[in-house]
Amino acid sequence: MAGVKAVGGSNASKVDPAEAQRLAEAARQKAEAARLAAEAKRKAATEARDTLAQARLEAEAARRQKATAEKATADARKAAQKPGQTPEEAKKSKEALAAAEKKLKEATEASRTAAQNLQKAEEQAALAARSAEQAMHKANALALAECKPAPYSQKDIDKVKPTKSELDSAFEGTSRKAELEKVLGLTPPPPQEVIQTSGAGGAPGVPLDAVDTFKGPFGQTYTGPSADTWFQQRQGAPLGDAAQSQPDSGTAVPSTPDGSDDSPAGVAQSQE
């Protein structure tokens, strides 16, 4: 029995230097791949935000063109209904109205398309920012696991991750709420409370939803004095700007506390 060598001991705990080097190199490559992936996603998040900014400009331009077309159509309709026209004048005014209505239809479709593109850009910006944030955290974790400095500071991550405004915009009007909830890791924001308007001279006004309601292009309901208020509400524009826009035909304009009518029609009648 004395000739039998002992099994185990310190020799069993020794690690093959070649294997240790191989494992270390694999960990280094994995950490480097995670860093490169995070860099690519950070770049994608920046590009998505640039695309979102451009989509906002295009949607705003389309909305303004639609408002201009609405006003032109209203003017053309008023001219076509003007009494006392000769047959030739009536024909011209009728043709002008048809042309204005055609332009309005085109502007409305362009505005709807721009709004859809804006919604897609808002969703993509939020998703890209969240993906970049997660990738940067992963790169940091793998670097620290091999006792290397984290490639990204908290300031770097905060600069990339989606803001509350971006997350809210992504959920507004989307048809992919369930998917966004899963990917973004949060639930949709609660519906906005009804905002009380202020009347003239400090008098209490009425809730916006009592003034007018408008179904947005994605099924959502917006409130305000014009059909385009939905865009300004989504972008956070002051409601006062929307209130100054051209009212749609058939929309009632509230009178002042003294009973006078300050609407364009009322002023025109008083001048006549």
* Mean pLDDT value of segment 123-148: 92
Q: Contact at 8 Å (CB) between 242 and 226?
A: yes
Band (pLDDT 50/70/90 cuts) for residue 121 is: very high
Task: Please write the tens of the pLDDT for every residue from 150-177.
Answer: 999 999 999 999 888 888 777 776 656 6
The more confident residue out of 197 and 154 is 154
Name the nearest CA neighbour of 108 among 68, 145, 137: 68
Please tell me the predicted confidence (pLDDT) of residue 186. 59
The more confident residue out of 242 and 17 is 17
Please tell me the predicted confidence (pLDDT) of residue 94. 94
Please tell me the predicted confidence (pLDDT) of residue 177. 61
pTM metric for this prediction: 0.57
Please tell me the predicted confidence (pLDDT) of residue 242. 38
Please write down the HEC assignment for all residues of the chain: CCCCCCCCHHHHHCCCHHHHHHHHHHHHHHHHHHHHHHHHHHHHHHHHHHHHHHHHHHHHHHHHHHHHHHHHHHHHHHHHCCCCCCHHHHHHHHHHHHHHHHHHHHHHHHHHHHHHHHHHHHHHHHHHHHHHHHHHHHHHHHHHHCCCCCCCCHHHHHHHCCCHHHHHHHHCCCCCHHHHHHHHCCCCCCCCCCCEEECHHHCEEEEHHHHCEEECCCCCEEECCCCCHHHHHHHCCCHHHHHCCCCCCCCCCCCCCCCCCCCHHHHHHHHC
* Mean pLDDT value of segment 26-50: 94
Query: Which range scores top for mean pLDDT: 22-26, 41-45, 159-163, 253-257?
Result: 41-45
Share of the chain above pLDDT 70, in %: 58
* Mean pLDDT value of segment 22-48: 93
Q: Lowest-pLDDT range, 18-22, 26-30, 60-64, 199-203?
A: 199-203
Please tell me the predicted confidence (pLDDT) of residue 170. 76
Task: Please write the tens of the pLDDT for every residue from 202-223.
Answer: 444 444 443 334 444 444 444 4
Please tell me the predicted confidence (pLDDT) of residue 171. 72
Band (pLDDT 50/70/90 cuts) for residue 226 is: very low
